[in-house]
Amino acid sequence: MHTRAYILQLIGSMIFPDKSDNLVHLMWLPLLEDFELCGSYSWGSACLAWLYRQLCRAADKKASQIAGCLVLLQTWAWDRFPHLSPLRRRSRQRQGMPLAYRWGASLDTTAVATHVLSVIREALDRQSFDQVVWHPYTDDVCARLPDYCLDGQESWRARVPLICFSIVEWHYPDRVIRQFGDEQIIPGQCDAETRLHRIDMRGKSSDNWMHIHADYIQLWHHRGSHVVPLHWEHDGEYATWYMRHSRPHLSHTGVMLSIVVSTITIYLY
């Protein structure tokens, strides 16, 4: 009973937190009835689905709060953008360990902005190519990871829906294929299926989500058939495509800096 209570606390406060701050939905309780079955669930994909949906909601300019597994999001960002991360006071040679464990040391935040949004945006606008960790899953890192971190690693590149009760969020690894060791190509078209974002659990306590999302669940069960291949032939057109389809700057300062650099470059050459 104590174990189930502790796991329920982890679910409500760390893995699938919502904006209630101190409540846990009853829908999680049946998942803890059988620990043998509980261990076979894909908690990681469900956690990502939950986090992706919360990020979508937080992107609304009217939103003032955010939920989801923000510890995962923060440690992911620190790992990919070292120039924005705090310094670890105690030296830990744990680059092969899971994210949360690597960042478990005492941190020094005096040299970086941890809560000033404008400063972080300007730092992202000014960052150079070599300030980003593009290939985090190197052979050396994977060789030192625990076995449970590597189980089913081919599905890391599966282009499939991630499902968590009412939530369905698509996983598009072909848009971030560089982190799996390949060079980025122009990704295929994606459908965000905005109708899925209008679905929530309010007033639907009796709905059977396994039936409602049966088609998506079927795709998930066959994820091995939807793994994005590596080592494509590269045409070098991705950078041009990216600049044409993305928003390259987050702040007015970044836009002005880009104009100044472009002007100086034209003047010099």
For residue 145, what are the CA distances in angstroms to 49, 56, 96, 152?
A: 24, 31, 6, 13
Residue 238 neighbours by CB under 8 Å, 6+ apart: 183, 184, 185, 186
Q: Which residue has the tokens 């956690």?
A: 47
Whole-model pTM: value is: 0.86
- The reported pLDDT for the residue numbered 57 is 92
| Interior/surface letters 159-178, b for 16+ CB within 10 angstroms, e for the rest | bbbbbbbbbbbbbebbeebe
Tokens of 165: 């009760």
- The reported pLDDT for the residue numbered 95 is 54
Size of the chain, expressed as the number of residues it contains: 269
Q: How far apart are CA 78 and CA 127, in angstroms?
A: 14
Q: What is the pLDDT along the chain (269 residues), one digit of tens a residue?
A: 898 889 989 999 999 999 887 889 889 999 989 988 998 899 999 999 999 999 999 988 899 899 999 999 988 998 899 888 888 766 555 555 556 667 766 777 777 777 788 888 888 888 888 999 998 888 888 888 888 888 888 889 999 999 999 999 999 999 999 988 888 888 888 887 889 998 988 888 889 999 999 999 999 999 999 999 887 777 778 888 888 888 778 777 777 777 776 676 666 66
